[in-house]
Amino acid sequence: GQLKILKGRAGTGKSTVLRPVVSALQSKGYDVKAMTFQGKIADSMEGDLGLNARTIDSYIYSWSEYDKAAETLGRGGLLDLEVQKDARKNLDKYQKDQFTAKSVIVIDEGSLVSHSHYELILSKIEKVGAKLLIVKDDAQNKAIHGADISAAMDNYTDSPALKTVQRQREPW
């Protein structure tokens, strides 16, 4: 299906499990995009998965700029040459952030993502037939704004859960 969820507490190996998954998806020609709620987590995703991870808000900004440029060029009529040039430049610049049927979006710390963010991401995914992989820890904090949509999504997918903490092996 289009939606997969990987659950596990901190240290259970979610990133370790994701590395070969991301590699396999890329080898099959998928464009894997990594996003998360916070910049610090995006930095961690980059190191763990080797992906260009960014915040969801940076993607939203990019989508908005792309849509504005497309709307400007789609108006037709006589456009100032400089306006056309800027719009084409923005289309090119923000094209890489658009989803396609060959996109797989990985969202880390999925429990922290707000309802409004999920609504926007899911609408874009549905529109083009992309895939979504949510990585989350049900024991962590939940989204500040709105309901925990990632918990509701659990009802629509068979979500594997990693249960054994691997990172910390020393008994306390």
Question: Could you report the per-residue pLDDT of 103-116, keeping only the tens digit for each?
Answer: 999 999 888 888 88
pLDDT, residue 167, reads: 54
Show the low-confidence residues of the chain (pLDDT under 70). Answer: 1, 13, 139-172
pLDDT confidence of residue 78: 76
The whole-number pLDDT of residue 153 equals 59
Q: Max CA-CA distance within the chain?
A: 72
**pTM of the predicted structure, to 2 decimals:** 0.81
Q: What was the pLDDT predicted at 56? A: 96
Alpha-carbon torsion 8, 112, 34, 28, what sign? positive
pLDDT of residue 85: 93
Alpha-carbon distance of 74 to 91, in angstroms, equals 12
Separation of alpha carbons 105 and 73, rounded Å: 28
Residue 55 CA neighbour count, 13 Å, CB half: 9
